[in-house]
Amino acid sequence: MTVHIDDNLEQRPDGAVACRHCGTAVGVAAEPLRDALVRERDPQDAGPSVRAEPAHFTDRRVVLRLTFCRGCLTQLQAEIVPADEPSFRTRNLAVGR
């Protein structure tokens, strides 16, 4: 059974995770975004919502880390985090495997 993981992703019976908008494979159940495109940008590229530069408040570099479907470039995940940290955001659905 194919199940929705979220607004953009679905998990197929074989455990493959694909983009719901264009069908492009982006990962597998254990690593749903394994094959997605990841880009790091300046936090203020997120738009006017990030009011001041992080450097005013911290010595660590902070990045806007965006993950996209390689097929249609839909934004699958967005986080603003210290650059030296790996992404802790992941999930692993035990269905459809």
Closest to another protein by CB, 3 vs 13, is 3
80 makes contact with another protein (CB under 8 A): yes
Is 83 a residue that touches another protein (CB under 8 A)?
Answer: no
Separation in Å, CA 51 to CA 46, 47, 55, 58: 10, 9, 12, 15
Reduced to 3 states (helix: H, G, I; strand: E, B; else coil), residue 43 is helix
Q: How far, rounded to the nearest angstrom, does the alpha carbon of residue 44 sit from its chain's CA centroid?
A: 18
18 is an interface residue for another protein by CB under 8 A: no
Q: Which residues bind another protein (CB under 8 A)?
A: 3-8, 37, 39, 41, 43, 45-52, 54, 56-60, 62, 66-68, 72-82, 85, 88-95
